[in-house]
Amino acid sequence: MQTSGDRRQLQLALGEQINALLSATRALSERSAAHFHPALQPAAFHVARWLYAYGPAKPSVVAEAVGMDRSSTSTLIGKMRTLGLLSADPSPGDRRSITVGLTPEGRARVAATLEDRGQEFYTRTESWTTDDLTRLVELLGRLTAEP
């Protein structure tokens, strides 16, 4: 019971830490979104960032994943396609659907935006040992891996 209690405590603690991280990065995210592309609404960045992290997907999946409405996502994807940031192919096995993904240019622009506004976190880990850094990357990787 001690062990399972500790376990519970740990999961709660993880929740608090993730929460703190989300709080700390929210301002950064919104500002990145606002500066992502001059011709696009902020939400475009959230779409692009998700595709950057998880790869090509159908619009409906993207909308669900980023917590946006399907119509907004659709028009946003349309604009990003005409700007050359996204490419679309017919989804295999369903001719109603398309699969969208970042073009090299889109990928580069996301990377640039992240780089541009993410300096702060680099400096935070400056004093860390390489070992700790490696482990954090590895653990986060496991946490965010698709189920």
Point out which residues bind a second copy (CB under 8 A).
Answer: 3, 6-7, 10-11, 13-31, 46, 49-50, 52-54, 64-67, 114-115, 118, 121-122, 124-125, 128, 130, 132-137, 139-144, 147
Q: CB within 8 A of 90, min separation 6: which ones?
A: 97, 98, 99
User: Residue 72 binds which one of DNA, a second copy, none, with CB within 5 to 8 A depending on kind?
Assistant: DNA
Q: Mapping DSSP to helix (H, G, I), strand (E, B) and coil, where does residue 136 land?
A: helix
Residue 127 CB, nearest distance to DNA (Å)? 29
* Residue found under tokens 């300096």: 119
Nearer to DNA, 97 or 125 (CB): 97
Residues 99, 111, 69, 41, Cα dihedral to 10°: -120
Residue 78, both tokens: 């349309």
The entry of DNA, a second copy, none that residue 117 binds, CB within 5 to 8 Å by partner kind? none
